[in-house]
Structures are given as C-alpha cells and as structure tokens.
Amino acid sequence: MDKTLIVYASDHGTVEKCSRELFRLMDGKVDMCNLNRREFLPDLSTYDSIIVGGSIHSGKIQDVIATFCNEHLDLLAGKRIGLFINCLYSGAKAEKQMDEAFPEVLNQKAIIRDYFGGEVDELKLNFLERIITKQMIEKEDLVVALSKEKIERFANIISSANEEKE
C-alpha cells in the first residue's frame, strides 16, 4: 500500500487544521510531521507521496518549509508531490504567493497545488499581527475562510494517484 507523508508548519493553527483534515480524508497509510515540533524527520525515502504545506506571512512561506524543500529537493523531486498553502489572498495574488513559496522544480512536479484560504483568530495574534491582518482584510476586502471543497479535492487527487499505482 502506498504511503503518504504530510510535512507542514503552522504559526497559529490553520495549516495544522488543514493537514489533519487531509489526514482524515485520505485513504491508505498517512503520517504527519509538524516541522516546528519534530524531534526527528521521518525517513522520506520510505514514502510514495509527500504533501508539503505551510502558510504565508508578509508574502513568504515559513523558513522551516523553505529550508526543508531546499535541503531535500532531489529526494522530493523523485516523489509524488502535493503542495498547499494557507493564506488570505485568493486568485492571482494567491497563485503568485504559491509560486514563490516552493522551488520551481516542485511546482512543476506537483500533481496538485492549491491554496485553501486562511483564518484570523484575534486571540492567537499579537498586537502587530492583528494590525497587519486587519489592514490587509480591509484594504483588499478579503474573505476570511477555508475551502472545505479544495481540501477534499486535494485529498481525493492524492488518494486516487496512490491507488492508480497499485
């Protein structure tokens, strides 16, 4: 049976929530690895599919995700890849953030890439973060929401690809 690893980093819980939802929706053997909490990285070579997910802050994905992708680029490029981000922008701006979040080779290689939307929980944000997000939302009239449909579609595409190979 194909094995899938979800590697992710989450500042205030949205990416974690989406990763758990993917985990719940996907068939087969699925493991999760939170790069902010891990003590060791699982052996990537043992996985058939690897999903990488992070969130965008001030236009950038977390350093820990960028470093993970670059350090393991050759190995990742040989796997079935899925990439996702959480962010508040949608459309062309979200696409651009996604393009810049991951190395070109992974963007090209991915069988699915998507942005799932974002969340803003004022209780989890510090003063500055609250001001930044408030300004973003008001200036651009952004809709703060997660797309359940996109998460389901993403999980289905990886699960189907895992099954096809068997």
Ligand X SMILES: Cc1cc2nc3c(=O)[nH]c(=O)nc-3n(C[C@H](O)[C@H](O)[C@H](O)COP(=O)(O)O)c2cc1C
Give the footprint of ligand X on this chain (CB under 6 A).
10-15, 55-59, 86-89, 97, 118-120, 125, 129, 132-133
- Tell me which DSSP letter residue 8 carries: E
Distances (CA, A) of 87 to 18, 91, 101: 12, 11, 11
Cα 14 to Cα 42: distance, rounded to the nearest angstrom: 23
Work out how close the CB of 141 gets to ligand X at its nearest, in angstroms, rounded to a whole number. Answer: 13
Nearer Cβ to ligand X, position 2 or 117?
Answer: 117
Among residues 30 and 85, whose Cβ is nearest to ligand X? 85
Shortest Å, Cβ 110 to ligand X: 19
Which of 14/162 has CB closer to ligand X?
14
Q: Which is nearer to ligand X, 15 or 30 (CB)?
A: 15
Q: How far is the CB of 46 from ligand X (least distance, A)?
A: 26
Q: State how far the Cα of 7 lies from the Cα of 53, in Å rounded to an integer.
A: 6
Q: Closest CB to ligand X among 63 and 163?
A: 63
Least distance from ligand X to the Cβ atom of residue 55, Å: 3
CA distance 79 to 72: 11
Smallest gap from Cβ 144 to ligand X, in A, equals: 8
Give the C-alpha separation, 19 to 79, whole Å: 19
Largest CA distance in the chain: 50
Residue with tokens 């819980």: 13
